Amino acid sequence: MRGGASDDDGLCAFLRGTEGGELIIPPAWKLLLSGSVRTRPEYTLRADVGYLLKQMALFSHQSIVAAGGKIFDITVKPGDSIEKIARHQGATVEVMLRLNPGADLSRLHAGQVLKCRRASIKRCITGWRAMEAETIAQRYGSDDPLYATKLRYAFEVIEKGKAAA
């Protein structure tokens, strides 16, 4: 990312929310940043910090239960599979497995009653890479071979400032 430059692909992807940015930027900020990020330095800084967080995040796809989704019963019909039931009920196989721990879901029988809950597979932040100079330099995309050294220096100055306060 290059601080709000008009041809900055990193900024565009981050604000578009197609590469994890949607999990970092609060929805209310998205419109604010999109319109002003190239003209207002404080918004440029917010976008840069958000982009850094996106680069440092660990993502995975997980089964997420629908907000307010209630558990309900579903009766197995001839020819049903756990995948077919989950797809038709707006659930996921993972949630069906969790809700029916004693059932052998690989061998369903017509008339069998299963618990179900609406869920979907979503991209989630599952952790963070270490906020260390080398990792930031590598993930943030700088071509500057001294970027990690400069970051370490900045970290030291910040720490000295904290100690003096």
For 96-155, the pLDDT digits (tens) are 999 999 999 889 999 999 999 999 999 999 999 999 999 998 887 668 889 899 989 998
What is the domain-level CATH number for residue 84? 3.10.350.10
CB 18 within 8 A of CB 106: no
* Helix, strand, coil distribution of the chain in percent, nearest 5: 45, 15, 35
Are residue 103 and residue 135 in the same domain, yes or no?
no
Domain that holds residue 98: 66-123
The number of domains in the chain is: 3
Pairing label, strands 57-65, 119-128 = antiparallel
Burial 38-60 (b: 16+ CB within 10 A, else e): beeeebbebbbebbbbbbbbeee
> pTM for the whole thing?
0.71
Tens digit of each residue's pLDDT (9 = 90 or more) over 66-87: 998 899 999 999 999 999 999 9
Residue 50 and residue 91 in one domain: no
Whether residues 136 and 87 fall in one domain: no
Last residue of a domain, one of 41, 58, 75: 58
Closest to 52 measured CA to CA, from 159, 129, 157: 129
